[in-house]
């Protein structure tokens, strides 16, 4: 795949029957740098949506609907002939992004495999056969004689799993049983002498196993190429994009308060208690208690407060009221006020800094004495229980939250906390502390509309 800065791409791939690619090798397409990133972001939205759906325990039929919806929403292109290119380019860009560590490879492999399985099943029978042909699977269709020998057994299995009885073209294949582990584990095939007899309507399992094994090897090879050459060669161009993509926040921009124009210092304790997520509530309490926060905490809480609508003057007054109790107001003016104005874009490069997303906070590494980070990720169980208890969470909700934490689904744990505290569902899930705040305020304001 060759990357160009700006030009039209070469003509689209010829129209083929299957819409699904096996991604066997990177295509020789010229790709604009903008598309390199934008296509990858769109695919990432699909993969993250699938991952969230799974962690939320969606049932298989709900997952089918979700994957179709995600694909339809994010992977279209205004030019229909570019849809296949977008699919292929985005897959190969994300291979680069997700080949770089064992954890990233594992995640990408499992979600891409789910996506592939879903899309393969939606292909027509002919397209499925064509795709199988591309894999050069060494399996042969059952001969008539073989079929007659095992027909009764095949019918028995088909009946037990509510599948149509194998007839005509749908007879099936004989494959070494280790090639179809999920069918064997689910007792969905007849087995004889080390072979599984796979009906044609179950071949998805064969193809998925091949796809997974091919992609797994390809990710390891890509990683080698990445570390040996690509990373250095592309140091000024692709490397920064690739490195940023795996921790990219994909939700709305919370750098400016939107729905709730501003909060004032006099309301801050009330809204902190009602609408701050646990990470900000913890920082807020520590600031009130110790009249000080280290740099990481000042940044995390300060930008959050800016995003929820605390104006610069109020922010200065708020931080000064606390810090001056510890360091004196003169030192506050000299050492700390600059950084607050800086966050609001009033000093230095005058950049308007953006509040941190959950992903950024969760992947931060607080040291001893720091209070920033995500409590679901960085607290021990006892402290987390106590903190949740103070928010009024208990019983079954507490167990569910701790189970999500154990499985490292921190944002889901936060979503369940939100749902328990507000007695209201949060279908989108929590991706950003400022989103938590604004969803919470929406609920409170709908219950207590402001009087005029």
Residues in the chain, total: 452
CA distance 196 to 172: 10
Least Å from the CB of residue 303 to ligand SF4: 13
Q: How many residues bind ligand SF4 (CB under 6 A)?
A: 15
Give the one residue of 310, 414, 420, 443 binding ligand SF4; rule: CB under 6 A. 414
Q: Whose Cβ is closer to ligand SF4: residue 203's or residue 361's?
A: 361
Phi and psi for 118 in degrees, rounded to 5?
-60, -45
Q: Establish if 303 lies at the interface with ligand SF4 (CB under 6 A).
A: no
Instruction: Answer yes or no whether residue 297 interacts with ligand SF4 by CB under 6 A.
Output: no
CB of 421 to ligand SF4, least distance (A): 12
Please state the closest distance from residue 228 (CB atom) to ligand SF4, in A.
Answer: 36
CB 164 within 8 A of CB 158: yes
Is residue 25 within 8 A of residue 1, CB to CB? The reply is no
List the one residue from 40, 157, 242, 278 that touches ligand SF4 (CB under 6 A). Answer: 278
Quick check: 283 binds ligand SF4 (CB under 6 A)? no
Please report whether residue 276 would count as binding ligand SF4 according to CB under 6 A.
no
- Rounded to an integer, what distance in angstroms lies between the CA atom of residue 189 and that of residue 152? 13
Question: Residue 198 in 3-state DSSP?
Answer: strand
Which residues within the stretch 128-187 sit at the binding site for ligand SF4 (CB under 6 A)?
none
CB of 354 to ligand SF4, least distance (A): 15
Return the number of the residue (332 or 410) whose C-beta is nearest ligand SF4: 410
Closest to 279 in 3D by CA, of 296, 262, 267: 296
Minimum CB–partner distance for residue 375 and ligand SF4 (Å): 6
Extract the tokens encoding 251.
């939700």
Whether the CB-CB separation of 204 and 210 falls below 8 Å is answered with no
- Name the minimum Å distance from CB 279 to ligand SF4: 3
361 exposure class (CB count in 10 Å sphere: 0-12, 13-18, 19+): buried
Query: With the C-alpha atoms ordered 183, 188, 191, 197, is the resulting torsion angle positive or negative?
Result: negative
CA distance 112 to 67: 11
In the bound complex, what is the minimum distance in angstroms from residue 241's beta carbon to ligand SF4? 25
Binding segment (CB under 6 A) for ligand SF4, from list 311-319, 401-409, 410-418, 420-428: 410-418
CB of 245 vs ligand SF4, minimal distance in Å: 20
Q: Which element (helix H / strand E) includes 135?
A: helix 125-135
Q: Which is nearer to ligand SF4, 226 or 410 (CB)?
A: 410
For the segment 337-396, give every residue that binds ligand SF4 (CB under 6 A): 358, 361-362, 374-376
Q: Based on CB atoms, which residue is closest to ligand SF4, 101 or 363?
A: 363
Nearest to ligand SF4 of 210, 411 (CB atom): 411
279 binds ligand SF4 (CB under 6 A): yes
Q: Which stretch binds ligand SF4 (CB under 6 A): 18-26, 76-84, 273-281, 321-329?
A: 273-281
Report the distance separating Cα 53 and Cα 205, nearest Å. 22
In this complex, which beta carbon is closest to ligand SF4, that of residue 183 or of residue 278? 278
Q: How far apart are CA 371 and CA 384, in angstroms?
A: 13
For residues 429 to 448, the per-residue mask of contacts with ligand SF4, x marking binding by CB under 6 A and - elsewhere, is -x--x--x------------
For 415, how many CA atoms within 13 A lie in the half-sphere containing its CB? Answer: 19
**Phi, then psi, of 192 in degrees rounded to 5:** -150, 125
427 Cβ neighbours under 8 A, 6+ residues apart: none
Binding mask 218-257 for ligand SF4 (x = CB under 6 A): ----------------------------------------
Least Cβ distance, residue 374 to ligand SF4 (angstroms): 3
Distant-in-sequence, close-in-space partners of 403: CB < 8 Å, separation ≥ 6? none
Q: Is 134 exposed, middle or buried (CB count within 10 Å of its CB: 0-12, 13-18, 19+)? A: middle
The reply to whether 416 sits near ligand SF4 by the rule CB under 6 A is no
User: DSSP string of 255-296?
Assistant: SS--SS----GGGHHHHHHHH--HHHHHHHHHHHHHS---HH
Instruction: Rank residues 97 and 278 by Cβ distance to ligand SF4 and give the closer one.
Output: 278
Q: Is 410 in the site for ligand SF4 (CB under 6 A)?
A: yes
Closest CA to 322 of 345, 344, 305, 346: 305
Distance CA 285, CA 283 (A): 5
Least separation in angstroms between CB 167 and ligand SF4 = 53
| 405 near ligand SF4 (CB under 6 A) | no
Q: Which residues bind ligand SF4 (CB under 6 A)?
A: 277-279, 358, 361-362, 374-376, 410-411, 414, 430, 433, 436
């Amino acid at each position: 795949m060759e990357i160009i800065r700006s030009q039209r791409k070469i003509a689209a791939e010829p129209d083929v029957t299957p819409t699904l690619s096996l991604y066997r090798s990177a295509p020789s397409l010229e790709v604009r740098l903008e598309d390199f990133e934008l296509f990858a972001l769109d695919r990432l939205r699909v993969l993250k949506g699938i991952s969230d759906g799974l962690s939320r325990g969606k049932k298989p039929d709900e997952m089918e609907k979700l994957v179709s919806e995600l694909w339809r929403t994010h992977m279209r292109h205004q030019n229909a002939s570019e849809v296949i290119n977008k699919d292929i380019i985005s897959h190969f860009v994300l291979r680069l992004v997700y080949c770089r560590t064992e954890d990233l490879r594992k995640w990408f492999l499992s979600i891409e495999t789910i996506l592939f399985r879903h899309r393969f099943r939606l292909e027509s029978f002919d397209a499925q056969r064509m795709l199988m042909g591309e894999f050069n699977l060494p399996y042969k269709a059952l001969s008539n004689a073989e079929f007659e020998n095992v027909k009764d057994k095949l019918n028995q299995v088909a009946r037990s799993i509510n599948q149509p009885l194998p007839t005509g073209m749908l007879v099936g294949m004989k494959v070494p049983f280790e090639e179809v582990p999920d069918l064997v584990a689910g007792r969905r095939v007849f087995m004889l002498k080390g072979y599984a007899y796979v009906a044609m309507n179950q071949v998805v399992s064969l193809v998925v196993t091949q796809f997974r094994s091919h992609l797994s090897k390809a990710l390891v090879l890509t990683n080698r190429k990445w570390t040996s050459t690509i990373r250095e060669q592309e140091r000024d161009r692709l490397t920064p994009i690739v490195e940023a993509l795996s921790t990219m926040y994909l939700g709305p921009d919370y750098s400016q308060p939107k729905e709730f124009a501003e909060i004032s210092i006099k309301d801050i304790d009330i809204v902190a208690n009602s609408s701050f997520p646990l990470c900000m509530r913890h920082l807020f309490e520590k600031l009130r208690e110790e009249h000080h926060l280290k740099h990481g905490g000042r940044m995390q809480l300060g930008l959050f407060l800016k995003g929820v609508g605390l104006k610069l003057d109020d922010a200065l007054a708020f931080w000064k009221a606390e810090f001056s109790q510890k360091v004196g107001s003169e030192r506050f003016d000299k050492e700390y006020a600059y950084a607050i104005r800086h966050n609001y874009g009033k000093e230095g490069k005058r950049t308007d800094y953006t509040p941190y997303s959950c992903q950024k906070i969760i992947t931060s590494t607080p040291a001893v004495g720091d209070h920033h980070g995500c409590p679901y990720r960085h607290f021990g169980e006892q402290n987390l229980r106590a903190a949740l208890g103070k928010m009024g969470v208990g019983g079954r909700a507490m167990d569910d939250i701790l189970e999500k934490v154990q499985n490292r689904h921190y944002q889901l744990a936060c979503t369940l906390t939100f749902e328990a505290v507000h007695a209201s569902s949060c279908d989108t899930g929590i991706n950003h502390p400022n989103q938590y705040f604004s969803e919470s305020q929406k609920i409170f304001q709908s219950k207590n509309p402001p009087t005029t």
